[in-house]
Amino acid sequence: MLTFLIRRIVAGAALVVVVATATFLLLNLTGTDVARNILGETAPRSAVTAKSHELRLDQPLVERYWHWAEQALRGDLGSSWFTGAPVNQSLVDTLPVTLSIVLAGLLLAAVLSVALGTAAALRGGWVDRMVQFAAVLGTAVPSFLIALVLAVTLAVQLGWLPATGYVAIDASLTEWLRSIILPAVSLAVAATAATAMQVRGALMDVLRADYVRTLRSRGLSTRSVVFRHALRNAAPPALTVLALQFIGLISGAVVVEKVFGLPGIGTLANSAAVRGDAPVLLGTVVVTVSIVVAVNLLLDIVYGWLNPKVRVS
């Protein structure tokens, strides 16, 4: 298990380096005059040249890459070309926002998908058909549309929840919850739809298995069979889907944050991409890729815990 983990960690680190390098190269091949974009149309050429020099844009690409990589290895991701804010600080400020809505969305999706999937598998009939229909609908409707509808109806028209903005969890727990509910629900819909179908399928398979029949023949109640045994065995495939959904939720967060005016990492990455703010964009890429790698690693560990056979192999 340990060598397995070390191998996965090294592979994960390599992936981060490859993605960061590729992003760096892509950002520098576009031919955008960043110094001009920073200073605006009214700046004279001399000021633009000075700015380019200040940002090292007049240096060879390889030299600039080493400079960035060296700093990054020491834990310093540089400063925004546009606002001068340290990238590390921006990430520390924005990450909690994104994690709040993504994790709350994931939690909602997990709870709802297990409930819906189990109901569909056990009840069958019209319940099953309704859940399947809802799942297709939930997958088909894009999260930004759900976000827009929720924002306009529940926040703007009814005024039940804030339309925009984020309140930190340490500032006020209830305000924090109020500020993340709508974004989290918008994100959770698609994830719930996909995972519920997975839970339904896996549970149906398990319930048809021999050991379940044995358990039932011993007189165990359906409840006990489903919740103590079947669900645990149906969990791995559902977990895989949920972990994949987590990655999907991070990308979905970009649009949802936009609609609700949340200062999260998606908003940060989006504005950096639009303006060509390379240090900020690289920082967000490094952090999101690291999170994805960490989630996959965590998933491997949970798999091992749920299913000892994985550890042996």
Partner 1 sequence: MRKTVALIGAALLTATVTGCGGGTLADGDRTLTLAESVTATPWDLAKASLGPESSYYQPVFDTLIRLDRNGEPTPNLATSWSYDKAQTTLTLKLRTGVKFTDGTALDADAVRQSLLHTKSGTASAAGEIRDISGVEVVDAHTVAIKLSHPSASLLPALGQVSGMIAAPGSLKDPGVPVGSGPYRLDTSATIAGQTYTYTRNPRYWNKKAFPYNKVVIKYLADPTARINALLSGQIDGGTVNLNRVPTVKGHGLKVATYQPGDVEGLYIWDRAGKKVPALGKLKVRQALNYAFDKKAILKAAKTGLGTRTAQVFAPGEDGYDARLEHTYSYDPAKARRLLAEAGYPNGFAVTLPDLSAAFPQEQAALTQSLKDIGIKVRLDNVPGDQIFSSALSGKYAMSYFKLGAPTGWDKVQLQLTKDSTWNPLKYHDPRAEELVTRIGEATGRTRDALFKQLNAHVVHQAWNAPWSVVANAYATAKGVTATPQAGLQYPPLHSYAPAAK
Query: Where does this chain bind partner 1 (CB under 8 A)?
Result: 30-33, 36-37, 39-45, 47, 50-51, 54, 82-85, 89-90, 93-94, 104, 107-108, 110-111, 148, 151-152, 155-156, 159-166, 168, 174, 177-178, 181, 258-261, 263, 267, 270-271, 274-276
29 or 312, CB closer to partner 1? 29
In contact, 226 and 114? CB cutoff 8 Å: no
Q: Compute the least distance from the CB of residue 236 to partner 1, in Å.
A: 17
72 or 259, CB closer to partner 1? 259
Q: Compute the least distance from the CB of residue 80 to partner 1, in Å.
A: 8
d(CA 262, CA 25): 29
8 or 178, CB closer to partner 1? 178
d(CA 71, CA 50): 23
159 or 219, CB closer to partner 1? 159
Q: Enumerate residues 6+ apart whose C-beta is below 8 A from 24.
A: 65, 68, 278, 282
- DSSP per position, 250-293: HHHHHHHHHHTT--SHHHHHHHHHHHT-HHHHHHHHHHHHHHHH
The two tokens of residue 143 are 């999260």
163 or 247, CB closer to partner 1? 163
Q: Compute the least distance from the CB of residue 261 to partner 1, in Å.
A: 3
Q: Compute the least distance from the CB of residue 245 to partner 1, in Å.
A: 17
Q: Compute the least distance from the CB of residue 238 to partner 1, in Å.
A: 15
Burial (CB count <10 Å: 0-12, 13-18, 19+), residue 214: exposed
Distances 56 to 23, 32, 166, 269, 273 between C-alpha atoms, Å: 18, 15, 36, 22, 19
Q: Compute the least distance from the CB of residue 168 to partner 1, in Å.
A: 8
- Residue among 228, 209, 231 nearest 118 (CA): 231
243 or 280, CB closer to partner 1? 280
In contact, 275 and 9? CB cutoff 8 Å: no
- Residue among 127, 246, 149, 231 nearest 194 (CA): 246
197 or 255, CB closer to partner 1? 255
Q: Compute the least distance from the CB of residue 148 to partner 1, in Å.
A: 7
The two tokens of residue 71 are 């700093």
Distances 280 to 13, 19, 171 between C-alpha atoms, Å: 20, 15, 26
Q: Compute the least distance from the CB of residue 307 to partner 1, in Å.
A: 17
124 or 165, CB closer to partner 1? 165
